[in-house]
Structure 1
Amino acid sequence: MPELAELSSPRTPADADHIQRNILEEHVELWWFQDPKKAILCYGMAVVLILACGIGGIILLYSTSSRSGEWRLAVGTTLCLLALLVLLKQLLSSAIQDMNCIRSRDQIELLKSGGFSDCLVLLLSALVLLVCGVVLTILSTTSMQLSPARPLASMFTSGVILLTAGSAILLCLLLYLLCTSCRRAAPRSLETGEIRVFTISGRLAGNRRLPPTSSMANLI
Structure 2
Amino acid sequence: MSELEDFPPPRGHQQHADPARIQQNLLEEQVELWWFSEPRKSLLCYCASVALILGCGLGGVGLLSTTTSLSSEWRLGAGTALCLLALAVLLKQLLSSAVQDMNCVRSRRRINVLKSGGLSDVLVVLITGLSLLICGAVLLDIALAYHMPKPGQALNDMFISGVVLLAGGGFTVLAVGLYSAVVFLLERTRPEQSLRDRMVGIFTVSGQMRARRETASSLAQLI
Q: Report the TM-score when normalising by structure 2.
A: 0.78
Name the SS of the counterpart of 1:103 in structure 2: coil
Structure 2 unaligned blocks of 5 or more: 1-7, 201-223
Question: Is 1:88 the counterpart of 2:79 in the alignment?
Answer: no
Question: Which residue in 1 is equivalent to 2:54?
Answer: 51
Aligned to 1:79: 82
1:134-149 correspondence to structure 2 within 5 Å: 134-149=137-152
- Do the aligned partners of residues 188 and 87 (structure 1) sit closer, same or farther apart at CA in structure 2, a change above 3 Å counting? closer
After superposition, the CA RMSD in angstroms is: 2.3
Q: Which residue of 1 aligns with 2:155?
A: 152
Matches within 5 A, 1:1-150: 11-14=15-18, 16-17=20-21, 19-25=23-29, 27-150=30-153
Higher relative contact order (CA 8 A, sep 6+): 2
Question: Any unmatched runs of 5+ in structure 1?
Answer: 198-220
User: 1:130 and 1:97, CA in 2 relative to 1: closer, same or farther beyond 3 A?
Assistant: same
> How many residues align structurally?
188
Name the CA shift for 1:69/1:113 in 2 (closer, same or farther; >3 Å): same
Seq. identity, %? 48
Residues 63 and 17 (structure 1 numbering): CA distance in 2 closer, same or farther, change over 3 Å? Answer: farther
Cα displacement (A) at 1:89: 0.4
Describe the superposition over 1:80-126 as per-residue Cα deviations: whole angstroms up to 9, x where unpaired: 01000100000000000000011111111110000010011011101
What is the deviation of 1:28?
Answer: 0.7
TM-score by length of 1: 0.79
Runs of 4+ in 1 over 2 A off after TM superposition: 7-13, 15-19, 187-191
